[in-house]
Structure 1
Amino acid sequence: MAFGRLERARAPSPMSDINMTPLIDVMLVLLVIFIITAPLMSSSLRLDLPKTEGGRASEAPKFLSLAIDAQGQLFVAEQSVTLDQLREQAERAAGRDPATEVQLRADQSVPYGRVAELIGLLQQAGLSRIGFITAGGSAASAPK
């Protein structure tokens, strides 16, 4: 010990390794976010949006108009039909043109199972293009 000098410990040398803990924490948070959002992204709604060009009268698509009233009665082009008659008409329409579209109008009180049954019948007949026709307006303003 020299006159009045105190021994001082050496200052710690700088650490040359990267601290991995914050990096791992961030990566785990990102992994959790991707695990949660991946199923949501795969079930997105795909729409076949209309083209901007106007169609000519000769380009009008062929369609079959199908309606179900509140009592479950079926109507094709405003004519009452049975399930067997509907099957025959759908098979004939699919035989003429498989791209024929079915425009389905169902009363709000018709059970979902009945609509699903009709969709299955139409697909078995060879018609896979089915459009649901609804009334205009928002669902929030509809009476409950």
Structure 2
Amino acid sequence: MAMGIAGSTETPISDINTTPLVDVMLVLLIIFLVTATVAVQAVKLKLPNVRFDPTTTKPENVSLAITSKPDGTCLVYWGVSPVTHQELLDRAVAKLKAEIARQGGVGNPDLELPEAHIRGDVNTPYKCIGGAIYTMQQAGFAKVGFISEPPPGEGVVRL
């Protein structure tokens, strides 16, 4: 405590210097305001309650397997035969046209287009899988899905 110099009384001054306290409180207030707005920004969604949804394999669906070489070169397989990017596009367009013709043309109200099912290796770069997705969508496939394997010991569990 400080001693009073001015005046005739020699009692200690018991006033607290509040300037540092106010500075600390203002800094904390600013930090909390900034972090609270970052933490609150979220889009409210209702996510599906299905852990694993089995797909039905139809003969007209296209099965693609995608992997890569150690040097990063993408390898795409249509069924079990390897294809290039252009061959993938040509085969996909031909498959879609043949399926539409088989079902009676575009005017058929019950037209069911085939789907593309992609099985991608875990270590495959995204550019390989993304390129295959883009190529299949460019060919006209509306549904492009991924085939995955559930962890061992887990079956189909609906919540």
Q: Return the TM-score normalized by structure 1.
A: 0.54
Q: Identify the structure with the greater helix proportion.
A: 1
Aligned with 2:88 (options 86, 89, 113): 86
CA spacing shift, 1:64–1:112, aligned 2, 3 Å: same
1:40 match: 43
Judge conservation of contact 1:70–1:108 (CA < 8 Å) in 2: no
1:45 and 1:130 mapped to 2: Cα distance? 20
1:65 and 1:73 mapped to 2: Cα distance? 14
Where in structure 1 are there 5+ consecutive unaligned residues? Answer: 1-31, 139-144
| SS across alignment from 1:68 | strand
Instruction: Give me the CA root mean square deviation.
Output: 3.4
| SS across alignment from 2:134 | helix
Structure with bigger RCO (C-alpha 8 Å, 6+ apart): 2
| SS across alignment from 2:64 | strand
Aligned with 2:118 (options 89, 104, 118): 104
Q: How many residues align?
A: 98
Aligned with 1:65 (options 54, 63, 77): 63
After superposition, where does 1:1-144 map in structure 2 within 5 Å? 36=40, 39-42=42-45, 44-45=46-47, 60=58, 62-71=60-69, 72-95=74-97, 96-97=99-100, 99-137=113-151
Judge conservation of contact 2:116–2:143 (CA < 8 Å) in 1: yes
Q: Return the TM-score normalized by structure 2.
A: 0.50
CA spacing shift, 1:110–1:99, aligned 2, 3 Å: same
Q: Report % sequence identity.
A: 24
